[in-house]
Amino acid sequence: MNPCDIIRKKRFGKELNEKEIRAFVDGVVDGSFADYQISALLMAICINGMTDRETLALTLAMAKSGDTLDLSDVPGVKADKHSTGGVGDTTSLILVPLVACCGVKMAKMSGRGLGFTGGTLDKLESISGLSVDEDIEQFKRQVREVGCAIIGQTAELAPADKVLYALRDVTATVDCLPLVVSSILSKKLAAGCDVVVLDVKTGSGAIMDTPEKSRQLAEMMVRIGNLSGKRFSALITDMDQPLGNYIGNALEVEEAIDVLAGRVEGELKTVSLTLGAHILRNAGAVDSVEAGIALLEEKIRSGEGLKKLGEMIAAQGGNPEVVRDTGLLPKAKYKIDVTADESGYVTGMCTSDIGNAAKLLGAGREHKTDVLDLSVGIVMKVRPGDRVRRGDVLCTLHAGEKSDRVAAYNLMKRSIRIGAEKPEARPLIQAVIEG
């Protein structure tokens, strides 16, 4: 099929059929479409949009562009969770073992962090000996026997997305809604789960910085995901402040362990349990979200959730003793307090600045080849609405020898705003999108 005919059709705003979209994706993978032709079609899609039928066809073609994971020989319902990325967002390490304790298999393939959003794989690798590079048969065996696994995506999972994303990045089409949806969902569909719950972030630390954009994305992903024959739902959650108080790879593992051990309450636990409860409800394990939250709370109280995390760590070659002794995690050499210059209320935070400060310390990467310092990061001591006095500690930087401590300190000073009036509380979970 002639690439120019497909480009011309979309350029004039016409709907592409399934055969044309499949030819486009095949051309992306086998190289028969040149980069400039792919870029031209991406721009035409960005300008003219896509119908649900086109977006579904693109998503399915991308999902089938490489390996697809068949989990049919793993008994029971298989589930996954996806976040659009945030700061201090450690929900996977909490909900994966908890949901697995309730009889729903959690077969999760994750990515690495890029920019200021943390990657689940990087967090897990701060645990001594743990491998995220299991092959598919190992992965399936672990899901079957332990009930959960978190590994890296295989190189051949939705390979069309890798080519398209690289070109979207340099053609100003990254935020095009149909392309975002097909990019995320193609990988989830290729990974073979029955139930997927999406955590769509909104605010200063999110890809979609307004509630309106976040709702559009969430609604479209749920709509297209359900059209594919799987069970999807989504939560829109606040990212105008870090979700957890710990930001950085080993630090976030420590906070996840503290939540599972019942030592920590707060926003991170609330979002983790709510996402997990939606998975349980969609998988048929409970009748309601409220019943799911109650069941997950019980798994924390009984210690089963923490024990399951230890089993998952051991199955992937890591030291399970870390769930009983977080002192085994990497520790930063320096601790630097950032204090308040005035008294008042914490009126707000710029979450993207906080994430970038963590990156300056070495917790995040600018390029995929960057080497992280897994020990560094930030521990938040205040939340929006808290009353502070001059000299109070707002946060503590955990820094290493190669950390840009001065730049990170100055950025954190600017990122936390203090004023005379207590701000109105923002809802943590702003909307729930059901299929």
In sequence order, the β-bridge partners of residue 151 are: 109
Active site residue 82: yes
* Nearest alpha-carbon partner for 345 in 292, 388, 310: 388
- Clarify whether 161 is annotated catalytic: yes
Q: Which amino acid, one-letter code, is at 134?
A: E
Smallest Cα–Cα separation from 201: which of 181, 188, 218?
218
Exactly one of 168, 269, 308, 359 is catalytic; which is it? 168
CA distance 264 to 273: 13
Catalytic residue among 39, 92, 182, 183: 183
Per annotation, catalytic residue among 81, 82, 112, 230:
82
Q: Using CA atoms, how far apart are residues 248 and 358, in angstroms rounded to an integer?
A: 7
Task: Please name the helix (run of DSSP H) or strand (run of DSSP E) that holds residue 281, with its range, or none.
Answer: helix 267-282
Q: Which residues of 229-240 are buried (b: 16+ CB within 10 A; e: fewer)?
A: ebbbbbbbbbbb
Cα–Cα distance, 121 to 134 (Å, whole number): 12
Q: Dig out the tokens for 71 from the structure.
A: 């989990």
Report the DSSP beta bridge partners of residue 120: none
DSSP classification of residue 371: P
List the end-to-end C-alpha distance of the chain, in Å, as a whole number.
Answer: 35
Q: Is 168 a catalytic residue?
A: yes
Which residue out of 89, 161, 199, 258 is catalytically annotated?
A: 161
- Among 155, 116, 165, 164, which residue's Cα sits nearest to residue 133? 155
Give the span between the Cα atoms of 43 and 13, in whole angstroms: 12
Helices (H), 89-210: 91-101, 120-124, 136-145, 159-170, 177-190
d(CA 417, CA 290): 35
Contact 52, 178 (CB under 8 A): no
Which residues on neighbouring strands pair with residue 198, listed in sequence order? Answer: 82, 234
- Cα–Cα dist 360/365, whole Å: 9
Tell me if 158 sits within 8 A of 65, measured CB to CB: yes
Among the options 187, 231, 281, 398, which is catalytic? Answer: 187
Residue indicated by tokens 């349990």: 273
Angle, in degrees to the nearest 10, between helices 267-282 and 91-101: 40
Residue written as tokens 């959960």? 148
Cβ pair 110, 89 in contact under 8 A = no
Where in the sequence numbering do the catalytic residues fall? Answer: 82, 161, 168, 183, 187
